[in-house]
Amino acid sequence: MDAASAPRKPGRRWRRWLLAGALFAAYPAFVLIATYTQFFAAGLPGGRNGPADAYRHSLASAVVAYTTSPRLVDWVTRVMERDGQGTRSRAMDAHNNRIGARIGSGADSWSAMQSAVREAVRAGAVDARGADQITWLPPGDWQDRLY
């Protein structure tokens, strides 16, 4: 019996699935670490519905678009934010996700992407309507907790 016709060991298939699962889980962990490292360092107010929330969403979307594709951001936005339908908060998050995806997909480097997101948040405003302007809700709607 030659090596090509020898039966495979049953544990080898499970190791491959385990490795594939670990790699699949590593990407979301990478995005979360890359996003929250910058998010906590930024010290912005309004962790929920404010500038900090807008920064977190636009940065995470930029990271995903920069490292994979803006299509993945679109899919996640449709699933997680119901494509902006239902609440003002979801609409704000979906809007900022789209801007982050555009920034990430057009960035020339990792640092350029991060700088562009920070600048977009600096130029953002309460209830911004422009397709290219980061937005957040009025200060009365901000919450400092993250959930």
Model pLDDT for residues 94-105, shown as the tens digit of each residue: 999 999 999 999
Q: Work out the pLDDT band at 84, boundaries 50, 70, 90.
A: confident
Instruction: Please give the pLDDT value at position 5.
Output: 60
Calculate what percentage of the chain has a pLDDT beyond 70.
90
What 121-129 contacts at long range (C-beta under 8 Å, 24+ apart), as own/partner pairs, is 121/44, 121/51, 121/54, 121/55, 121/58, 124/51, 124/54
